[in-house]
Amino acid sequence: MNVSTGGRQLRSRVALTAFVSAITLIPGLSYAAPNDPGPTAGGPLEQIRSQLDGLYREAEVATEAYDAANEKATEQTKRLTSLQGDLAHTQGRVDALHGLAGAAARAQYRGDYFSSAGFQLILSDHPENALSDAAQAGRTSDTLANIYESQKTARAELDRQTEAATNNLRELKKTLADKADAKEKIQNRIADAERIEAGLKSEQVDGLAQLEKQKADEAKSKWPGSGSDGGPANKGGPGGGPSGGGPAVSGSAGQAVSFAMAQIGKPYGWGDVGPSSYDCSGLTSVAWAHAGHPIPRTSQAQWQGLRHVSLSSAQPGDLIIYFHDATHVGMYIGGGQIVHAPRPGRTITTAPAASMPILGVVRPGG
């Protein structure tokens, strides 16, 4: 075997070793809260509420980015694992062909007959058995030429797989860095909001609660077709809406609504998909998966991937997407109400469907 062949094999081994080693160098994802003092409580109630809403809104935007990066990283990791398996298989094939070529060359030098049986075995899924069989056979020049051609093809495939795995690893590292950046931003914004809330006086806390109730009451009248109760007639028992008086929702939509309603009182947890805590899209995606209709994980992917319906035709189980960038989602339960995971520091609850800027409505399950 010539020197260039050995050099190519050595380079392939070095590339594979470097690639595998690089996987262990992915940085951790833990970040400390910032040391700067950040905003503080003060000013009129509307200003304080605006500050808090802004900070929690930024945290939610970052949460959606975190969730999206987490989903992407999961898929990339699966792909990387598959590529590693392909690499190991192809490397074994290259090694076996290298040994077989050496045996054939030695047999040719001795003038022995080297049959194609060993070559055929090397093309099977168990090349480790081929060398002993091939060594017992003779040789032909055609077989030796075929072995060299197979080596060339296998090395080209190994190079291709190594490049694909290296690129995938590079993409995974970037995705994890995006995920870490989003996590840091979430932590920073929540810490800022908590500093404001910690500095509030009791009368300010009461005033903010009253202001929030006032805003919720105003939102009821904004829902299409709302009456004195703030919503259309799609109300019912479990899975049908927040109160009785109408038919309950059946089928998969009813199952999704029932599941989401059963989570009321559990805390919001950014990036969480239950069972003890959820973020907004974690709640809706798990609820619909429970109903037998898996949907995309993030609110942005739900907005992009599910069927859009008009606001006026919203039915219980539909998802209402909020804000221009589709970074919040709630499940419509009828009666002009949604069930949702609002934000850090809050628990899963019902709320007026029009309490936030509505982007549109999507319908899972067909």
* More confident of the two residues 276 and 78: 276
* More confident of the two residues 65 and 228: 65
Which pLDDT tens digit goes with each residue over 184-221?
988 989 999 889 888 888 888 888 888 888 887 777 77
As beta bridge partners, residue 331 has: 319, 339
- Give Cβ neighbours of residue 101 (< 8 Å, ≥ 6 apart): 1, 5, 144, 147, 148, 151
For residue 166, the model assigns a pLDDT of 84
For residue 315, the model assigns a pLDDT of 94
Distances (CA, A) of 134 to 67, 89, 197, 228: 54, 20, 78, 88
For residue 320, the model assigns a pLDDT of 97
For residue 23, the model assigns a pLDDT of 43
pLDDT value at 141 more than 70: no
Can you say whether the dihedral through the CA atoms of 244, 245, 247, 249 is positive or negative? Answer: negative
Distances (CA, A) of 16 to 63, 169, 174, 186, 189: 35, 12, 20, 37, 42
Question: Kindly report the CA angle at 88 between 85 and 92, in degrees rounded to 5?
Answer: 140
Computed over every residue of the chain, the mean pLDDT equals 76
Cis peptide before 275 (omega within 30 of 0): yes
Q: What are phi and psi of 329, to 5 degrees?
A: -145, 145
pLDDT band at 233 (very low <50, low <70, confident <90, very high): very low
Span 332-340, average pLDDT: 95
328 is catalytic: yes
324 is catalytic: no
Task: Select which of 280, 290, 293, 308 is catalytic.
Answer: 280
Model confidence, pTM: 0.61
Task: Select which of 290, 308, 324, 328 is catalytic.
Answer: 328
Span 281-296, average pLDDT: 96
Residues belonging to the chain: 366
126 is catalytic: no
pLDDT band at 255 (very low <50, low <70, confident <90, very high): very high
Span 104-122, average pLDDT: 55
Task: Select which of 89, 126, 293, 340 is catalytic.
Answer: 340
Rg of the chain's alpha carbons, rounded to an integer?
A: 31
